[in-house]
Amino acid sequence: MHENLDRAVDLIATCFEQGGKLLLCGNGGSGADSAHILGELVKGFMSKRPLSADLVEKIGQPWAQNLQMGLPAIDLTANNALIGAVANDQDGLLPYAQQVMAYARPGDVLLGISTSGNAENVVRAMITARALGAKCVALTGRDGGKMRQYADVLLNVDETETYKVQEKHLPLYHQLCMRVEKRIFG
């Protein structure tokens, strides 16, 4: 697991260093984890990430001192209107893949989360991301499921019960976020 965590950190940090973005998706509790990860990356997690004095001056407002440098991440679970439209007009399993079509570029990374590794809508998003030249990290449980075959990096926890998988996912993605943040911001 440590080697795969190292690889995931490197893949995501390199993506950010090269101007790319991280896309996140999952269902239910895994969707909540997507939002949690986004929160750790878009604003400071373990460090404050202050803006440069030059940027604060360019903004020219006193509140600019409270802004923090962020990392570009998009939670594909967050746009309920779009998710409903795609599910209604196209296919109920395509909302994440459709957003990947719109957002993903070569060098970006999709982090798909599923306790079973078999969430079909996440699998379809991963297939689409790879076709567009993006890399995929899968955060799973059980045996990694279908997501295993589409992941450039598999972060699989050795549990089968959903709540136990979720409990092990939290410290794992906190480590991921801490290490990416440290690499990017020092």
pLDDT in tens, the chain (186 residues): 689 999 999 999 999 999 999 999 999 999 999 999 999 999 999 999 999 999 999 999 999 999 999 999 999 999 999 999 999 999 999 999 999 999 999 999 999 999 999 999 999 999 999 999 999 999 999 999 999 999 999 999 999 999 999 999 999 999 999 999 999 999
Q: Which of 164, 145, 163 is nearest to 154 (CA)?
A: 145
Tell which CATH architecture fits domain 2-185.
3-Layer(aba) Sandwich (3.40)
* Prediction pTM value: 0.96
Task: Please report, as a single letter, which amino acid is at residue 33.
Answer: D
Residue whose entry in the numeric block shows the structure tokens 């993605």: 173
Give residue limits of the domains in the chain.
Answer: 2-185
